[in-house]
Chains A and B, each alone.
Chain A
Amino acid sequence: MHGVTNAAAAPTTYLDAASSEPLHPAAREALLAALDRGWADPRRLHSPARSARLILDNAREAVAEALGVRRDEVSFTSSGTDAVHRGLLGLVASSRRGRVVVHSRVEHSAVLRAVEWGAEADVVEVDGSGRVYDGDLVEHAIGPDVAAVALQTANHEVGTIQDVGRFELPNDVPLFTDACASMGRLPLPEGWAVAAGSAHKWGGPAGVGVLLVRKGARWRNPFPADDRVDDRVAGYENVPAALAAAAALQAVVAERDAVNARQHALVDRVRAAVARVPDVDVVGDPVDRLPHLLTFSVLYVDGEAVVDAFNRRGFAVASGSACTSSTLEPSHVLAAMGALTHGNVRLALTRDVTEEQVEAFVAAVPEVVAELRSGTGL
């Protein structure tokens, strides 16, 4: 068998934790232990099955405790996207009012696609920092056919935190919050009926989502039922991965005060440095934001070229630009905010990023910008 070929010889500083955080050491340890003890079908009654069931129950308990919710409010899905789809559409399926979902312009595509597929959209605009206008959200929510309001806890591309839970919604209009970008890093807001999270974004394994349905919320499974342990979800439970996700979540919650403060200061450092580069648009709320994430757009530069230029210098970053094909739409988040959509860079720090790595990135920014602008004559 061939191994995985390392494309880049130089060690890479990974600055794309918002796409996926590397596996937390606590998750690795839990995963390896659970692979040996949690492989059997947790529905069965024999000893190996009971061992798997115990691990699954422990994972659920740990997630509930870490998030401050009830154990019976926690379901494990096959991804964050699946948690969003079934979480939101389950509110629509059981609504007595109608099938309109009021949502912000900057929701993740998982929300937008779910609404396209199984509901009707009523979109609320955002300001230049990406925050929804609260009066607009409430005004739209009182519409007669509104089944649910969907508002993210924090934006996955620009980091801006929404005031979820501070809205006076009608009593019979439930709130769905996509917490994929913030779960573990920040406490859950108040006021939601259903919430979704994604384990690989907090340092758990990929393939585990978390669906939270508040006790008493009017919600029913919008997809075909399955005869498993948990009737909110479908498919054979990935028990070892669920335990690993839970272990990572507990660890991240325990560490977050210290990690967030460190990351917040490091992002402030990069933000100030990037803002000094001419013709760079620094995007998103500077203060009320995810601690680890920074987005900026460089005028006159192609987004793919900027990712490549940083990669050649040993930095892995993401971009919301879509300059390679004229048919590709740019990031709907950047567009909604009125931000520059080309030359976009999203930086997202891992929990163990060093100050030296961040300083090296800061030093590389003007070099990369100068290199990529040199051909434009500007």
Chain B
Amino acid sequence: MTPALELDCRGLPCPRPVIELARHLGDVAVGETLAVVADDPAARHDVPAWCRMRSQRYDGEDAAADGVPRYLVTRLS
């Protein structure tokens, strides 16, 4: 899957990956997907929680080429 935008949050501690996600949601169109690449262990829980709280869609997790987890979010509004 190729997201419209990929955010490199490697090395950023929580809550920075989620802050970056919120800042850049508007950079993709409604219906497009934004990916957050993050090695912070809290991101695994906090990206889906953010989607629930902000009414966006969480599309699950895959991995970047270097194996770092990548979390996929589709903008709904």
On whether the beta carbons of B19 and A378 are closer than 8 Å, the reply is yes
Is A299's CB under 8 angstroms from B50's CB?
A: yes
Question: Is residue B28 contacting chain A, with contact meaning CB distance below 8 A?
Answer: no
Quick check: which of B9-17, B29-37, B69-77 contacts chain A, the rest being far away?
B9-17
The reply to whether B18 and A330 contact each other, CB–CB distance below 8 Å, is no
A324 touches B18 (CB 8 A): no
Residues of A within 8 A of B46 (CB): 330, 340-342
Q: Which one of B13, B14, B49 contacts A339 once the chains associate, using CB atoms below 8 Å?
A: B49
Asked if B40 and A326 sit within 8 Å, CB to CB, the answer is yes
B15 A322 Cβ-Cβ under 8 A: no
Decide: A338 near B49, CB < 8 A? Known: A301-B15, A343-B15.
yes
Measured as residues with beta carbon below 8 angstroms from the partner, the interface class of chain B is 20 to 34
Q: Which A residue sits closest to B10, measured CB to CB? A: A326
Q: How many residues of A contact B (CB 8 A)?
A: 28
Complex interface: chain B residues within 8 A of A378 (CB):
19, 22-23
A interface secondary structure, majority: loop
Query: Is B45 a contact partner of A341 (Cβ separation < 8 A)?
Result: yes
Is B42 among interface residues, defined by CB-CB distance under 8 A?
A: yes
Asked whether A335 is an interface residue with its Cβ less than 8 Å from the other chain, the reply is yes
- The closest CB in chain A to the CB of B41 belongs to A329
B53 to chain A, nearest CB (A): 6
| A-B CB contacts (within 8 Å), total count | 72
Check if B19 sits within 8 Å of A341, measured CB to CB. Answer: no
Nearest-CB residue, chain A, relative to B49: A340
Q: How far is the CB of B16 from chain A (nearest CB, A)?
A: 9
**A323, B15: Cβ atoms under 8 Å?**
yes
A281, A330, A335: the one within 8 Å of B53 (CB): A281
The residue on A at minimum CB distance from B20 is A376
Cβ of B15 and Cβ of A281 under 8 Å apart? Answer: no
Within 8 A of B (CB), among A148-175: none
Most buried by A among B40, B44, B45, B50: B45
Chain B contacts for A377, CB-based, 8 A: 23
A257 within 8 Å of B (CB atoms): no
List, in ascending order, chain B residues with CB within 8 A of A327's CB: 41
Contacts A299-B15, A342-B18, A343-B15 given: A326-B41 contact, CB under 8 Å?
yes
A-B contact pairs, 27 of them (CB 8 A): A281-B49, A281-B53, A299-B22, A299-B53, A300-B15, A300-B19, A300-B22, A301-B15, A323-B13, A323-B14, A323-B15, A323-B42, A326-B13, A326-B40, A330-B42, A334-B45, A335-B45, A338-B45, A339-B49, A340-B46, A341-B14, A341-B45, A341-B46, A376-B19, A378-B19, A378-B22, A378-B23
Nearest first, the 6 closest Cβ-Cβ pairs linking A and B are A342-B15, A340-B49, A335-B45, A323-B14, A330-B42, A342-B14
